[in-house]
Structure 1
Amino acid sequence: MSSTAADAATAVTSGPSISQRLADYRTTELRADLSHLTDGDKRALVKLADTSDLLTNVYYQQIWANAPALRKQLQSDAPKNQTALQELRLFELLRGPWDRSRDNEPFIATVGSKPKGANVYPEDMTTEEFTQWITTLSSDERKRAKGFYDIIVRQEDGQLALVTYADAYAKYLVPASALMREAADLVSDKSFAQFLRLRSQSFVSNEYLDSEVAWLKINHSSPLEAAIGPYETYEDELFSYKAFYESILGVRDFAATSLLEKFTASLQLVEDNLPIPAQYRNPSLVPPPIVVINQVYNGGDTSAPLVAAFNLPNDEDAIARAGSKLTMIKNVQQAKFHSVLQPIAQLILPQADLIDVTFDAFFGHVLYHEVCHSAGPHTVLGSPGDTVRSHLQDLHSAFEEAKADITGLFAAKLLIDRGIIDDITLKQFYTTYLASSFRSIRFGLAEAHGLGQAMQMGYLMEKGAFVHSAGRFEVDVGRMVGAVEALTKEIMLIQGDGSKERAVLFKERYGVLAPEVKAALERMKSLPVDVEPVWKDMEELRKEYK
């Protein structure tokens, strides 16, 4: 699965320098209002930041067998070597030695290709071997093998075996569990404390369902919010089965939360009007609660590009039991809009269209993107026990991101037509989305959001909804309406039918960048791809409470 060290060294030598790669990320202080926090809340945040650092160690162990050793070597060399210092900075920002915005090209000599199975499967394991092996397992073991919380290892006799996350990562999860219990004793909100206690137990028991439900039941009055644990499966590029540890710590923005709650109440309206046959729809969809936070720290699976919002949990059992929760990260979105999206818009849009690129449209579409992860089919039609994830496998994440994006635009038009949205125009949504499409594609086609966006771009250009002329792109609003509806339908039917074959054909047809798109991306090389966060609030809290 890995290329030779010589191949990697050649790629590093011929590619951009480390300093050029770092220039892709604009250093940005991300701050939050901490004035309403108690002394205990602030002390708890410091302990949760220490927990986050432990989960970063877990993540490096998950992502690549050699990542912990390489990181340790860079940390040792950094104080005495400027090159190593820059390599370490980029390594930490991208959570590994591969440049995500350049299709996971390695940026450190002697490092090979990124293993598709990360380090949660044996690197020499084939998909055929795994598929054959699971037929020999009991139903419970088969669920674990295809589930979130067990790695697959090769035993001395060459056979595959299951190992729980709790056992595989005990070195870091046991102290992380203790820190979370200590934080639970300090926080002001009892429901948040309950989540921390149950999640601390999950780290050592490997049972996550109760703590996922407790997370969903955190009171809206809690001043703190945190997603801590194994969640996303993007790094499992073989099957999209295995969850990777992460931590996002935030402070609630109560005013922004109250303004947005009305939108999630419209989710069933969107579902009932989806352009798909009724049997693919959910007639009793529960709208997710919504929380707006300002982020103060992160750890684990939180590489650049920074997450601007998330809809969790991903565990289908937890969703069935208690639904999901949407978290919007306002200060991250503001940083992306001002530092990245506006410069892109100025480069690729006609001057007259720049007025339609607004933060409200950007924030609104991110909101609907996350809400619309809940829309449409999540199990295969006629096979209610089979998830879409299990059928689309390595393509699931890209199609799910594309679905959420395009259905978010479908929802925006519906809610504008119904008068529910009255302060953002359809042209603002479409034009801001067009500029943001280039922002996402720059993450690279090896990344789920980038590939998902590329497929949308290819489709919308083919339908004449995005029009290119003289190096500039603009939206044909009339054609865009029909194309959005048609694309929403096509993606959801692929998902609902669980058709990997149609997904592959769709990706091959549309997941390819047109020459004019490539030319525009080439012109953007001097612009930042994303932001490099500076967690100033946490720096100050650690000085005060350590």
Structure 2
Amino acid sequence: MATAASTPLEKQLARFQEIQVGGSKYLGRISAGDREAIPLLIQVGKLIDQIFIRQYWSSNEALHTHILNQTPRDTKLELGLQLFKGPWGLDEERFIDSIKEHNHNGDVHKAIHIPHEPPRHANYYPDDIDKQEYLDWVSGLEGQEKINAESYYYVIKRDAATGKLYSVPYSEEYKEFLIPASQLLKQAADLVSDKSLSKFLKSRAEAFISNDYVDSDVDWLRISKESPLDVTCGPYENYADKLFSIRAAYEFYLHARDFESSDILAKFSSRLQDMEDQLPVGELYKAKGLQPPAIVTVNQLYSGGDVAVPMTAAYNLPNDEAPIKIAGSKLVIIKNVQEGKFEKVLRPIAQQVLEPEQLEKVEFEAFFQHVLMHEVAHSLGPHFLVRDKETKVRSALQEYHSAMEEAKADIAGLYAVGLLLKDGTLAGGPNAESFYITFLASAFRSIRFGITEAHGLGQAIQFQYLREQGAFAYDPETNKFSVVMDKIEDAVKSLTARILILQGDGDKGKVKEFVDKYGIISPEVKQALSNLENLGVPVDVYPKYRILEDGTI
């Protein structure tokens, strides 16, 4: 538990609790070749980590080098950089002051200035970029130059002599890491037991060199559900690009397949179009011919790159629309991480914020299945504007897209759970009351990430809207919250419709008004969050990878 005298770094570290990741119990079906491939794949993960460190901020590599070369070693500072990937923790609070190194004469010979918050342009654009400058530049481009400038997989540079902007492919910008990573992937491809995984590793190795990711994304989507290992490796998420939510960050996950849970959850994917058809909006806002996402449940063995805490419990990829049109998307549920979050974070939060009579309804399966539906729901609703089928929602909403998309996935996922409960698909598991009460407890978990982060802001929007609708109640005498069961279903339906329409219309001004109104934290919620902090309830978990500690997986 942090004290008043704690440093900013100690306060950040106190908000996380370690969980052990990996273990031989997950590896019952892997072959000898798979075991040989695992160390090679972990080396790839470490190279991917180096790429993201560069992507996150222009001086990040220099900072990491400085900290890691200190004598004596500062293990707390090293852990902070490992967890957050840079010098900013939750709420974008800086926990490292700017660095100054002095020579033997006392003169400063090296300085690393650390901004108070991460630059919105990350390291995808010049440090002196102006948002309007970029938009004006792109508007003057044509053909392939324009495509490159708006690509997920190009960085934007400024010519030192002329001052003009130009595009550089990731394959060139990060070649010192991508070339050896490509070679390692090819070696691993020759060892793994599953042919479809081998095909993906080879095509991804080629994509690292060619900068063309569509074919390898399709190969990733088509990895067999019988593969004992599951690997996610490449540029995917857009959160670090807070200017336009375009540039993709590199990430790496190595998982062992959980066959039993995957079989149980696969039935959800077949209901995708049915859930889309039942969304509470007009037909213009609904997609037709949706391809059900592949759904797999895994247990994490190792990760690298864009995997800063809070730990990812599930992901639905790719984000690139081109491979999605060919092969749909894939939902990966990380069960051992979810179990860690539920036991170490969500249950203690529930004990502090919920009315006692609702506590017994907080269940892991309700949490687990809603995370599943959250990821499925990323596929629901409009991805292009209803008035302009050529314009992506992402492009229209720009910096508001990520938070709105996370809010959509949360609330539409909860709405879909209600549909599946009513038609019996979820019979035998948690009931509606458990889903809604667990969702309320989980809202506090997400908001604690901070409303500068997409998931936290998205959850704050939902919480405030549902409370305005009377679906969440607060008792000032007990300082506890509860779900109002006779109002929650209609409120969830109303919010689902509201967000889907805002996305489909693509009116950035109206979205801003919506986010400004609901993306706030009320005094009662602030007090609850403060109580959790004072009690030392962790915000999230962080991994201790067994293979790095004792050589076992």
User: What is the aligned partner in structure 1 of residue 93 from structure 2?
Assistant: 105
Match of 1:404 among 389, 406, 409: 409
Match of 1:230 among 229, 235, 238: 235
**1:383 Cα shift?**
1.5
> Percent identity, aligned pairs only?
43
Match of 2:515, SS? helix
Match of 1:106, SS? coil
User: What is the aligned partner in structure 1 of residue 542 from structure 2?
Assistant: 532
User: What is the aligned partner in structure 2 of residue 8 from structure 1?
Assistant: none
* Pair 1:348 & 2:353 matched: yes
Give the direction of change, closer, same or farther, for the CA distance of 1:527–1:16 in structure 2 (3 Å limit). farther
Match of 2:29, SS? coil
**1:538 Cα shift?**
5.2
For residues 393 and 43 of structure 1, the distance between their equivalents in structure 2, rounded to whole angstroms, comes to 43
CA contact (8 A) 1:379 1:387 kept: yes
**1:16 Cα shift?**
4.5
* Pair 1:482 & 2:509 matched: no
**1:263 Cα shift?**
1.6
Match of 2:491, SS? helix
Matched AA of 1:108: I
Match of 1:26 among 17, 34, 37: 17
CA contact (8 A) 1:248 1:297 kept: yes
User: What is the aligned partner in structure 2 of residue 48 from structure 1?
Assistant: 41
Matched AA of 1:30: V
Pairs within 5 Å for 1:200-279: 200-279=205-284
User: What is the aligned partner in structure 1 of residue 133 from structure 2?
Assistant: 129
User: What is the aligned partner in structure 1 of residue 54 from structure 2?
Assistant: 61
Pairs within 5 Å for 1:353-502: 353-422=358-427, 423-469=429-475, 470-502=478-510
* Pair 1:294 & 2:299 matched: yes
Matched AA of 2:179: V
**1:280 Cα shift?**
1.0
**1:479 Cα shift?**
1.1
User: What is the aligned partner in structure 1 of residue 152 from structure 2?
Assistant: 148
Match of 2:189 among 184, 193, 198: 184
**1:27 Cα shift?**
1.1
User: What is the aligned partner in structure 1 of residue 81 from structure 2?
Assistant: 91
Match of 2:301, SS? strand
Matched AA of 1:215: W
For residues 467 and 522 of structure 1, the distance between their equivalents in structure 2, rounded to whole angstroms, comes to 19
Pairs within 5 Å for 1:304-315: 304-315=309-320
Deviations 1:421-465 (A, max 9, x none): 112111100000000000001111111100100111111111111
Match of 1:138 among 135, 142, 163: 142
For residues 404 and 34 of structure 1, the distance between their equivalents in structure 2, rounded to whole angstroms, comes to 32
Matched AA of 1:118: A
User: What is the aligned partner in structure 1 of residue 343 from structure 2?
Assistant: 338
CA contact (8 A) 2:291 2:327 kept: no
Match of 2:225, SS? coil
Match of 1:88, SS? helix
For residues 420 and 308 of structure 2, the distance between their equivalents in structure 1, rounded to whole angstroms, comes to 33
Match of 2:163, SS? coil
Matched AA of 2:14: A
CA contact (8 A) 1:296 1:538 kept: no
**1:316 Cα shift?**
0.7
- Segments of structure 2 that go 5 or more residues without pairing to the other structure are 99-113
User: What is the aligned partner in structure 2 of residue 517 from structure 1?
Assistant: 525
Task: Figure out how many residues of one structure are paired with residues of the other and give that number.
Answer: 526
CA contact (8 A) 1:177 1:200 kept: yes
For residues 548 and 232 of structure 2, the distance between their equivalents in structure 1, rounded to whole angstroms, comes to 17
For residues 389 and 346 of structure 2, the distance between their equivalents in structure 1, rounded to whole angstroms, comes to 40
For residues 441 and 139 of structure 1, the distance between their equivalents in structure 2, rounded to whole angstroms, comes to 42
**1:40 Cα shift?**
1.2
CA contact (8 A) 1:297 1:538 kept: no
For residues 92 and 537 of structure 1, the distance between their equivalents in structure 2, rounded to whole angstroms, comes to 16
CA contact (8 A) 2:8 2:94 kept: no
Deviations 1:134-158 (A, max 9, x none): 0111133222222200000111210
Superposition TM-score, scaled by structure 2 size = 0.93
Q: Which moved more, 1:315-324 or 1:233-242?
A: 315-324
Matched AA of 1:29: Q
For residues 414 and 46 of structure 2, the distance between their equivalents in structure 1, rounded to whole angstroms, comes to 37
**1:540 Cα shift?**
4.5
Superposition TM-score, scaled by structure 1 size = 0.94
**1:539 Cα shift?**
4.2
Matched AA of 1:441: I
Q: Which moved more, 1:331-340 or 1:134-143?
A: 134-143
CA contact (8 A) 1:181 1:196 kept: yes
CA contact (8 A) 1:350 1:474 kept: yes
CA contact (8 A) 1:427 1:477 kept: yes
Give the direction of change, closer, same or farther, for the CA distance of 1:452–1:15 in structure 2 (3 Å limit). farther
For residues 369 and 548 of structure 2, the distance between their equivalents in structure 1, rounded to whole angstroms, comes to 28
Match of 1:410, SS? helix
**1:15 Cα shift?**
7.9
Deviations 1:193-241 (A, max 9, x none): 0000000011111000000000011111100101100000000000000
CA contact (8 A) 1:166 1:206 kept: yes
**1:322 Cα shift?**
1.2
CA contact (8 A) 1:313 1:325 kept: yes
For residues 7 and 345 of structure 2, the distance between their equivalents in structure 1, rounded to whole angstroms, comes to 20
